[in-house]
Amino acid sequence: MRKGSRKLQRSGLKRNRMSPHHGASSGLVTLQRIRTAAVSIGPAYFTTVTMDEWGNISEQTVHVCTSHGQKSCIPANGHDSGRIRTCAIVGSGGILTGSLCGTNIDANEYVIRFNLAPTVGFEQDVGNKANLTILNKEILDRVKASLKSKDSEGFASRLKQMKTSIFLYAKGRRTDLFRSLLQLAWASNISITLDYIEAHYLTAKIIMKIFPRYDRDFDSYVTTGLIGVVLATTLCNKITLYGFYPFNTDPLTGRNLSYHYYLNIDGNLGEPNNKVHDYKTEYKLLRALEKRRLLTLVKEPCHRQHVQRNIR
């Protein structure tokens, strides 16, 4: 066997000598494998965190299962157990600046966002609908620090923008950080739902199992964005990604792109944490998922897509 053939075999991919429909059938198999593996990080397994007026934290396990097993688990916190038809997952990449994708994003039945990324003032590009907001440790650390410095107004404003959303911390129990977010909501007279799940290690395990070719490249933590994508497979039939582009140059115009489409609370545009995350490898993985028709990556302005459809 030739070296190239062995490499393809190890990666779990075969040479593309199949019919045009092979991509779709392969994608369905991959999607089902991911959904099956990810069942225990779906909304039915979220744990809800609440705080009383004295600051005491309590937790409630969300899933309610019958004796028939996992497929009969019913969410108890308002999540719909049925499959959602269309979902948008909105990253924070600078590629969204000037994209005019806001209407397209909000047209989805379900919208997932991250890390209190602002929508007010950016509606044309990113919309304002939010059903689920996934938080990482960095943003919760910054909320906690802002409370100590009594400079939490910026974060309170963003909480108000996302008040229709369920907030999810996807890397396990962090009671101290949960208390800070709930204290901020309490002080701002905002009612929020805060859940958590341990999804980080399972997400990495799922990716390594289904896409072993990336095993040697994933020597860092998976991003919150990738966790959101894997989680979305348990919820959604059609997944569209916006703002997931890790490069600093627009592929169409060549313009320079900032890391985020917005300014951070401290007034800067932020920088990628390349020491912790491997953004480019994750982007290759997302492209592989797109080729298998599991999702769509939006990489160009939405008004341009609309014009092209009309021309056809």
Task: Round to whole Å and give the CA distance between 112 and 290.
Answer: 18
Average pLDDT, the chain: 80
Sign of the Cα torsion 113, 294, 200, 277 reads negative
- Taking the C-alpha atoms of residue 152 and residue 113, their distance in angstroms, rounded to an integer, is 21
- Write phi, then psi, for 49 (nearest 5 degrees): -110, 130
Q: In this model, does residue 224 exceed pLDDT 60?
A: yes
Per-position DSSP letters for 99-140, written without gaps between them: ---HHHHHTSSEEEEETT---TT-HHHH-S--SEEEE-HHHH
Please state the rounded mean pLDDT for residues 215-237: 83
Q: Given its phi and psi angles, is residue 211 left (phi above 0), alpha (psi -120 to 50 degrees) or beta?
A: beta
**For the segment 73-112, what is each residue's pLDDT rounded down to a tens digit?**
444 444 445 689 999 999 999 999 999 999 999 999 999 9
* pLDDT at residue 24 in the model: 60
**Tens-place pLDDT, residues 107-156:** 999 999 999 999 999 999 999 999 999 999 999 999 999 998 888 888 89
- Return the residue matching tokens 């792109």: 257
Q: Which amino acid would we find at residue 214?
A: Y
Average pLDDT of 260-286?
69
**Which range among 35-49, 204-218, 251-265 has the greatest average pLDDT?**
35-49
Instruction: Tell the residue number behind the tokens 């799940």, with chain if given.
Output: 197
CATH of domain 30-311: 3.90.1480.20
Using the 8-state DSSP alphabet, how is residue 72 labeled?
Answer: G
Taking the C-alpha atoms of residue 180 and residue 192, their distance in angstroms, rounded to an integer, is 13
- What residue segments make up the domains of the chain, in order of their start? 30-311
Determine the pLDDT at residue 144: 93
Sign of the CA dihedral with 80 first, then 84, 86, and 91 last: positive
Predicted local confidence at residue 55, as pLDDT: 86
Residue 166 has φ and ψ, to the nearest 5°, of: -85, 135
Token pair recorded at residue 241: 């990604």
How much of the chain, in percent, has pLDDT values that exceed 90?
44
Three-class SS of 177-199: HHHHHHHHHHHCCCCCEEEECEC
